[in-house]
Amino acid sequence: MPNESLEGRRDEPAGAVALAAVESVCLSAAVATPSGEATRLWAWLVLLFAGVVWGLSFSLARMAVEGGGDPLGITLWQAGLGAVFLLAVTTGRRKTISFRGNLLVLYVICALLGTAVPGVLFYHAAAHVPAGVLAITVTLVPILTVFLALLLGVERLAVFRLLGVLCGLLAVVLLVAPEGSLPDASAVFWVLVACLASVCYAAENMVIALRMPDRASPFMVACGMHLMATAILAPVVFAADSFVVLAWPWGQVEWAILGLGAGNALAYSLFIYLVNRAGPVFASQVAYVVTLSGVFWGMAIFGEEHSPWVWLSLAVMLGGLAMVTPRRRVPLPGEA
């Protein structure tokens, strides 16, 4: 029974490892392992749960900034709560986090590209862009990662994946170009800001694919990244007087921030669990659930209504995602 992870794929071509990193670092999932061997049904339930939790984060981001939370302060809380959660899980598993030279550099780079910079960009955009549109832009991450892999020569040129990249670009054009695509024409700029956050996430994936030491696990990198992001953001937030005080009794901002920190950490852990148990190819399908649930969470919570252009953009983006996702299927635990 295959049990693929990034560590087990070091002998594969760099492009394959890069694509595995897309699938294992973009998203995430829960750490509690069921007794006995995971079943096929369990794997699907974990995938669906992780995707729905991650999809809710777009609406929570909008709630936090609309309630008056500062993007810098929200990003610090998200990183800090994620670090606490991941450290607790690490301690419970009797594991340690290594901070030796090359890993420390990796944590810093990932903290900047995977949390600090895109987090601030994303939360700024959340104040101006519907949650459903934010969910669509994040689907760019695996598509852009493949584009960077092609650009850097670590992925062989394949027509199907190139078409997937072009679909991603077309989907963005469908979001920002047609008149009436977005509720407010001024939101076009902020959609592009959200896309820039996706560029940061894609760059982080490439760094992990090319620079992660052989013995480093994705979970260790996730924990180290959150710790370094907290350390980097804290002095900046306090210097800019952007700290968000969680006042009692808790209101919209406080609950949204708690949901963002706990939800993203839970999703991060869950996805890594799926990668190790069911393989990165299966786990990468969570991207579809994240995007679709993000759109529908926005409709349920905020009553968002989208133009036909936005729905067409969603369809094109999901089509592009299908084209860049590796075709080789990894059997689930319990399958022959």
How many CA atoms, within 13 angstroms, populate the side-chain half-sphere of residue 258?
9
Contact 212, 110 (CB under 8 A): no
Contact 232, 112 (CB under 8 A): yes
Distance between CA atoms of residues 205 and 26, nearest Å: 7
pLDDT at 14 over 80: no
Contact 135, 290 (CB under 8 A): yes
**Least confident interval from 159-163, 188-192, 311-315, 323-327:** 323-327
For residue 333, is it within any domain? no
For residue 331, is it within any domain? no
Number of domains in the chain: 1
For residue 9, is it within any domain? no
For residue 128, is it within any domain? yes
- In tens, the pLDDT along 21-75 reads 444 433 333 333 334 344 577 878 888 898 899 889 889 988 988 888 888 888 9
pLDDT above 70 covers a percentage of the chain that reads 82
Write the DSSP string, 133-199. HHHHHHTHHHHHHHHHHHHTTSS---HHHHHHHHHHHHHHHHHHSSTTSSSSTTHHHHHHHHHHHHH
pTM of the predicted model as reported, rounded to 2 decimal places: 0.79
- Structure letter (DSSP) for residue 332: P
* Mean pLDDT value across residues 254-259: 88
For residue 5, is it within any domain? no
For residue 149, is it within any domain? yes
The range of the structural domain enclosing residue 113 comes to: 14-29+54-324
Query: What is the pLDDT at residue 229?
Result: 92
For residue 91, is it within any domain? yes
For residue 146, is it within any domain? yes
